[in-house]
Amino acid sequence: MSDPSSPKPNVDPLSRVQVLIAMGVTAVVLLLFARLWLFFDTSAVLLPLQWSGLALLVGIGTGLGITAASALMYRIWEAYRKSADYYLELVIRPLVLPDLIWLGLLPGMSEELLFRGVMLPALGLTWFGLILSSLCFGILHFSGSQQWPYVVWATVIGVVLGLSALLSGNLLVPIVAHITTNLISSCVWKLRNE
């Protein structure tokens, strides 16, 4: 359940249509950025995306692990709980349950294509590339200076998703993990706060 002392977004509430358009536009912008990166950096390669049952299972398992860790952080880290509630209030409150499918798919695919599919290999499949691409992923989730815990947590999740990409060598694993995490977390938050 939402913490009553959590700050409410100090912006006008968004409508369902505004949130859906923002998700769609953001996904398109991230996909275009990834495509342009590949076009202009002729040495850049896309991390392979290979369909397999094992990759799907590993992705789902990773997503469930991230979801469980996020739930634990939500319970024990008050600053993160307030920051997450602020962000989720802004993004999820206006949506209806079927819209959450888009919240899982659009960011899960576009963010993973850019940050783990293009950026991570371009920066190097090393600790440096992992940390830098994860920091960029965290910064993408910045929604105001008081929401720094959400950025910190998104950066940590970026490391986990990056590790899943590095260890598997398959972009499908972090995509499925990201989609799983977004779907479960948003459904749980929506059902508890309606």
**91, pLDDT greater than 80:** yes
Q: Element (H or E) spanning 99, and its range?
A: none
In this prediction the pTM is: 0.91
Q: Where are the domains of the chain?
A: 50-192
Average pLDDT of span 104-120: 96
Tokens of 36: 């342009």
Tens digits of residue pLDDT in 139-192: 998 877 888 999 999 999 999 999 999 999 999 999 999 999 999 999 999 999
In angstroms, the CA 103 to CA 91 distance is 9
17-39 burial, b at 16+ Cβ within 10 Å, e below that, comes to eebbeebeeebeebbeebeebbe
- Mean pLDDT, the chain, rounded, equals 92
What's the Cα-to-Cα distance from 28 to each of 67, 88, 110, 127, 179, rounded to whole Å? 26, 21, 8, 28, 17
**48, pLDDT greater than 90:** yes
